[in-house]
Amino acid sequence: MIDKFLKKIRIDIHKNSKLTFYLRGLGILLLPHFLYSKSLEDKYNKLSRQEKEIINNRVNYYNKIDHPFKPAPNEVTILDFMLKEKKKTYYFDLLEYLKYFNYSQKIAYLFGDIREIPPYPTIVKSRPIKGNNKNSILMKLNKVRHFIFIQDKLQFTQKKDKLVWRGKVHQKHRIAFFEKHFNNHLCDIGMVNNNKLPNQWKKEKLSLSQQLEYKFILAIEGNDVASNLKWILSSNSLVVMPKPKYETWFMEGKLQENIHYVLIKDDFSDLDEKLYYYMQNPEKAQKIINNAHMFIQQFLNQEYEDIISYMVLKKYFDLKIKLFHQ
């Protein structure tokens, strides 16, 4: 009984508290509109030229629309969104910044793991990296699950010479990885869901702390992005993954292969070669880890995160308004 309780503590220790998240979200929902006014825009205006350039570069990456656009036919007012949308994580993440705008303004949004580019400018959590993805306007959604950063007490050289992964397996590319590497002596990988796949693939979950004992951690996309990518990049383990095909607020499309992470082929055929190389060259592994930590830094300034989120939406609303005033 005690062991089970302690195991649960180890599983939860690095994760964001959903209870805290929902309590904060309810507080945002209940705060009156007049308390928001233009406080984030005022903060933006007080920034230095260099700071504004940093902010604007990210705003324009998330919201690539550069001309007035025709609104989507499925738009709803912010007020309708507030009253009718299900009160879940995506809702509260978007509401936090919608409350700075007039409730009569209309928005188009799609919640969930979005892998297609919508026909009209639409607020989403994820989008394909390749192609003309202008209509996919990224906001920081479902962050309680995706945006986890950690402090790793172990150095790379102190960790096990293996690659670890735990997660759900049902997509073709994850099945292909298991078929090729489940019995690989360099891997400790396991499926945590129930399905008709080989029963031997199923293993118990590992806490983040337990996974941090390994030098290499696999980041393999699921329905869209790999949800573990953020915390691995903030650790002292190496991220091992194929080139990402989808991106979120984390700007996965800006990650550079063998600079921020260890690239493996889409068919996973060079995995052993890459693992042995970085086992034998720990100084090169450490350089990638340092670069990953530098990439993470841009997401740790909460004031910037708030301003950027606001400005992404402001750009969206401004371009629609311009269309109707021309």
The first and second tokens of residue 306, run together, are 């708030």
pLDDT of residue 11: 38
pLDDT of residue 75: 96
Q: Where do the structural domains in the chain lie, given as residue ranges?
A: 2-146+301-325, 156-297
pLDDT of residue 326: 47
The residue type of 76 is V
Instruction: Tell whether the torsion through CA atoms of 30, 32, 33 and 36 is positive or negative.
Output: negative
User: Strand locations in 209-305, DSSP E?
Assistant: 214-218, 238-241, 246-247, 262-263
pLDDT of residue 39: 85
pLDDT of residue 30: 57
Exposure on the CB side of residue 128, measured as CA atoms within 13 A: 9
- Mean pLDDT split into 10-residue runs, the chain, 326 residues: 36 57 61 65 94 97 95 94 91 93 95 95 97 97 87 97 97 97 98 94 95 98 94 97 97 98 98 98 98 97 96 95 56
Task: State the Cα–Cα distance between residues 167 and 193, nearest whole angstrom.
Answer: 7
pLDDT of residue 7: 40
What's the CATH class of domain 156-297? Answer: alpha beta
For 149-191, the DSSP string reads -----S-GGGSEEEEEEEE---SHHHHHHHHHHTT-TTEEEEE
The first and second tokens of residue 270, run together, are 């060079």
